[in-house]
Structure 1
Amino acid sequence: MARTRKTTARRKATPSDAFALATAGAELALASLAVVNARTPMIVQAFNDPVRGNYAELTRMISEKPLAFAQGASAGGPAWLAMAAESNRYLAQAWKTPSYGLAPGLSASLGAFAFWGRMMSLGVTWQSAMLAPVHAAATANARRLGPKA
């Protein structure tokens, strides 16, 4: 009876995922610029006239960042663990038995190439998961603080 290896289903990152990650990073940069531009005058006003400061917004400036980054760390944890598991799997297999000659060397090279491809795919998944909560908070702030249409 043949032994079958149990595998866990993982969603592979695609080139479009890498593009989506880059796009989200650019959106985050632009949203952050808009939010900083909107909030800086509020800080100046509160400094110059403490009675009339926008303390609801000033409080948001401090409280939302740790929350968004904690959510990002939590969301990225499973993908980071998947990267660690893949690394452990590859290293355990690569060091399992010594081999010599051209064919084992070629096999090892192809295995390493495939391993790094899987690691890059998992890395995009991990970074996307971590960026999502920060991106959501910053773009929501940019919409809320931006010009009203």
Structure 2
Amino acid sequence: MPTPMTAWWQIWTDAARTGLQFWETLAASAVVIDRRMPMIDAGMRNPWTADHVELTGMVTEKATAFAKAGDSLAADMSAMQGLWFQAMQDAWLLGTAGRMPSAKRVAASNDRAMRLAAGMIGAGGRALTPIHAKATANAKRLGAKR
């Protein structure tokens, strides 16, 4: 069981990492859009000379990245629902016991609540990771072509 200080530290570092990934994804997207718009234009003007590999990749890579993000969110949501159920069960038991809870029960309840908070903060970053990876890799690859 992590200490409250390490749990809070993890929450803050996950939030900072997610924020950084978000802005890097936005910056990479600008580069990718800037490089791909002329390819789309050229492909619409003359489909016979279009870069079909790049045009196909525009769709398949997004579908793959967003599917991985969805899988990540689904797994995190399932874990968080379990923790939420346990946290509500803790609250119910603490409220209806008719006596002061033991230190062990309070510590276990607190641990679940911290894991739930950390899971919620980290879920967005874990879901953004495959999208960020593809966007930054494309920006690097397409930026080098110029």
* Superposition TM-score tier, normalisation by shorter sequence: 0.7 to 0.9
Identity of paired residues, percent? 30
Question: Partner residue of 1:98?
Answer: 96
CA separation in 1, counterparts of 2:17 and 2:64?
23
Structure 2 counterparts to residues 15-30 of structure 1, below 5 A: 15-30=12-27
User: TM-score when scaled to structure 1?
Assistant: 0.75
Match of 1:145 among 122, 134, 142: 142
Question: Displacement, 1:76?
Answer: 3.4
Question: Partner residue of 2:28?
Answer: 31
CA separation in 2, counterparts of 1:148 and 1:141?
11
Question: Partner residue of 1:82?
Answer: 79
Secondary structure at the aligned position of 1:14 is classed as helix
Bigger proportion of residues as helix? 2
Match of 2:39 among 39, 42, 45: 42
Secondary structure at the aligned position of 1:146 is classed as helix
Question: Partner residue of 2:68?
Answer: 71
CA separation in 2, counterparts of 1:95 and 1:77?
27
Question: Displacement, 1:145?
Answer: 0.5
Match of 1:134 among 113, 128, 131: 131
Letter in 2 for 1:56: V
CA separation in 1, counterparts of 2:128 and 2:87?
27
The 4+ residue runs of structure 1 with deviation greater than 6 A are: none
Contact 2:11/2:122, CA 8 A, preserved across alignment: no
Question: Partner residue of 1:3?
Answer: none
Contact 2:21/2:132, CA 8 A, preserved across alignment: yes
Question: Displacement, 1:83?
Answer: 1.1
Unaligned ranges ≥5, structure 1 = 1-6
Aligned CA RMSD, in angstroms, stands at: 2.8
Paired residue total: 131
Letter in 2 for 1:98: T
Question: Displacement, 1:99?
Answer: 6.6
Letter in 2 for 1:92: Q
Letter in 2 for 1:44: D
Question: Displacement, 1:131?
Answer: 0.8
Secondary structure at the aligned position of 2:96 is classed as coil
Question: Displacement, 1:72?
Answer: 1.7
